[in-house]
Amino acid sequence: MELPRPSEEALAHSARLTDIIHQAIALEKGAIPFARFMELALYAPGLGYYSAGARKFGADGDFVTAPELGGGFAYAVAQAGAGILAQLEGDGIWFEIGAGTGALAEKTLKCLQQLDRLPAHYWILEPSADLRERQHSHLQASLPPELFAHCVWLDAPPEQPWQGVLVANEVIDALPATRFIKEEGEVYEECVALDAKQQFARVMRPADALVSGAVRHLERYLQREFEEGYCSEVLPQLPYWIQAVAGTMRRGGMLFIDYGYPRSEFYLPERDDGTLICHYRHRAHSDYFVWPGLQDLTASVDFTALAEAGTSAGFQLAGYCSQASFLLANGLAEYIAGYENGMDEIARYRESQMVKKLVLPGEMGERFQFMGFARGVDFSMAFTQGDLSYRL
C-alpha cells in the first residue's frame, strides 16, 4: 500500500527514534527481540508513537476508537460499572488504563453522575506524558469542576488495597508482542537486526525458556503442533501485567475491550503470519519497520490467554461477548430512546450513524469483544446477551 508521505519534521522525528533503536540493537550484539522493537516504537520517552505529540485518535489521526463515536459506548460501560459500585460497601474507585483522548472518562463520569453512582475517584493510568496532558486539558474543559475534581492521574499501578471498577479499552493490543516461528520442530523468536544497508531486518534466534514454554502451552491447549514456518504472536508477560495492574483490587470488576479472537481462531493454520498490523492515517498495512514513532503497531488479543491471566490472578471470569451484545445488554436501547427525544434531526442522524458503527457486524459490533472479571461481586449481569465464554 502506498502511504502518504510524512512531513519533513515528522521524518526527522522518526529518524531520531530510529537512531535510538539502532543503538539498542548494537548494545544487544546485533539483534533485539521484536517485542523490544515494538516497545521502543510505541513508548520510547518523547519519541515513541504513544509518547510523542502527534495526533493519533479521531478523523485527523490514524484511527477512531469507540468512545469517540457518540455517547452510547460510555453509557453502556457506565451502566455495567454502576452495578458493581452499587455492591460495594464504602468508597469505590473507577480505574481507567490508557485513557486516550479522555473521551471515555468524560462521558463515563457524566453518566455515573446521572446514575447517582459517582466513584470517590476516577483514576487514570497513562504511560504517555503527552496524552496525560491532553486528557487533563480535555477533562478540565469538558467537565464541571465538581466532576473534574474526581480525576486523579497515577504514575504507577496502585500498591494499596482498593475496590471498584477497572476498565481497559484497546490496551492489551498495544502491549509489546513477542513474535515466534516454528522451524524443524523448534521454537524461534523473531528479532530485529540491521542489514548491510543499516535497514531493519527480521532475524530468528532460538527462543528462551519463557517464550518457548508459552508456545508449547499453546500447542498443548490446541492439541496440535504448529506447522513448519508458522509465525504468530504471544504475550508471555500478560499474567504478570494483570497482576501488576489489578493485584491490589480487594473487591470489584475488570472490563477489557479489544479486538481479537478466542485461541482456536487466533491460531488457525491459515493465519500463519500472525495478526500484527500497522495503522497510519486510517490506512492499515503490514510494514512495521517503516517510520518508527509515526505509526501504531498492534496485534489482536488472544482472549483465551486473557481469561487464563485474569483467573490466575484470582478473579472469576464474569463473561465474554461481542461489543454489540454488551452494549445492547447494558442500556444502549435506553440511550437511543433518550437521544431521539432530546436532539434535533441533524444531531439524531449523526448519533444514529455512530451507533451503527458501534454495533453493526461489518463495523465494530462483532470485531471488538468485551471480557469481564469479578472479585467478590456479581458482574455476570452485564453479560446476559450473547455470552461467548464457551468458545474460549
Q: What is the pLDDT of residue 354?
A: 85
Both 117 and 232 in one domain: the answer is: no
C-alpha cell, 84: 458493581
Q: How many CB atoms lie within 10 A of CB 251?
A: 18
How far is it, in rounded angstroms, from Cα 250 to Cα 94?
13
- Evaluate whether 32 touches 24 at the Cβ level (below 8 Å): yes
C-alpha cell, 134: 491532553
Both 109 and 93 in one domain: the answer is: yes
- Tell me if 52 is assigned to some domain: no
Give residue 326's Cα distance to chain centre.
17
- Tell me if 230 is assigned to some domain: yes
Both 373 and 290 in one domain: the answer is: no
Per-residue pLDDT of the chain (392 residues; tens, 9 = 90+): 688 898 899 899 999 999 999 999 999 989 999 999 999 999 999 899 988 755 554 445 445 678 787 889 999 999 999 999 999 988 999 999 999 889 999 999 999 999 999 999 999 999 888 889 999 999 999 999 999 999 999 999 999 999 999 999 999 999 999 999 999 999 999 999 999 999 999 999 999 999 999 999 999 999 999 999 999 999 999 999 999 999 999 999 999 999 999 999 999 999 999 999 999 887 889 999 999 999 999 999 999 999 999 999 999 999 999 999 999 999 998 888 877 666 777 777 888 888 888 899 888 889 999 999 999 999 999 999 999 999 99
Count of domains forming the chain: 2
Q: What is the pLDDT of residue 53?
A: 58
Q: How many CB atoms lie within 10 A of CB 149?
A: 11
Both 335 and 367 in one domain: the answer is: yes
Task: Tell the residue number behind the cell numbers 441533524, with chain if given.
Answer: 346
Q: What is the pLDDT of residue 78?
A: 97
Both 225 and 248 in one domain: the answer is: no
Q: What is the pLDDT of residue 220?
A: 98
Both 182 and 147 in one domain: the answer is: no
Both 135 and 190 in one domain: the answer is: no
Both 111 and 231 in one domain: the answer is: no
- Tell me if 113 is assigned to some domain: yes
- Tell me if 87 is assigned to some domain: yes
Both 152 and 234 in one domain: the answer is: no
- Tell me if 39 is assigned to some domain: no
Both 381 and 260 in one domain: the answer is: yes
- Tell me if 286 is assigned to some domain: yes
Q: What is the pLDDT of residue 349?
A: 82
- Tell me if 44 is assigned to some domain: no
- Evaluate whether 11 touches 89 at the Cβ level (below 8 Å): no
How far is it, in rounded angstroms, from Cα 61 to Cα 53?
11
Both 185 and 98 in one domain: the answer is: no
- Tell me if 258 is assigned to some domain: yes
- Which residues pair with residue 298 across a beta bridge? 277
Both 325 and 353 in one domain: the answer is: yes
- Evaluate whether 164 touches 93 at the Cβ level (below 8 Å): yes
**Domain housing 149:** 66-175+239-264+301-391
C-alpha cell, 292: 518508527
